[in-house]
């Protein structure tokens, strides 16, 4: 249930705010019943860092009930249909 509540919050509140801050896209992927992956794509590192800094309090609040592991990296390539 907590994952479902988090998913609804991300979909309706946090990710729209991330898109407004300049993200190209945001994806939430259910991996298992208790695990998920959130991927956000940014046009450049400067925009990503500014958005990340602006949402520190929100991430800290989410961490009270959910384990969060954060990773960063550059896109090597994209294949889409």
Report the phi/psi class of residue 22: left, alpha or beta, with left for phi > 0 and alpha for psi in -120 to 50.
left
Rounded to two decimals, what is the model's pTM?
A: 0.80
Spans of all domains in the chain: 2-63
Mean pLDDT of 30-53: 91
Report whether CATH 3.20.20.70 matches the domain 2-63: no
pLDDT reported for residue 39: 93
Stretch 76-80: mean pLDDT: 90
């Amino acid at each position: 249930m907590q994952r479902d509540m988090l998913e609804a919050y991300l979909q309706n509140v946090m990710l729209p705010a991330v898109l407004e801050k300049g993200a190209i896209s945001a994806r939430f992927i259910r991996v298992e019943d208790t695990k998920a992956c959130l991927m956000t794509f940014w046009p450049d590192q400067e925009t990503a860092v500014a958005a990340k800094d602006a949402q520190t309090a929100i991430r800290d609040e989410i961490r009270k009930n959910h384990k969060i592991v954060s990773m960063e990296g550059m896109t090597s390539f994209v294949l889409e249909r």
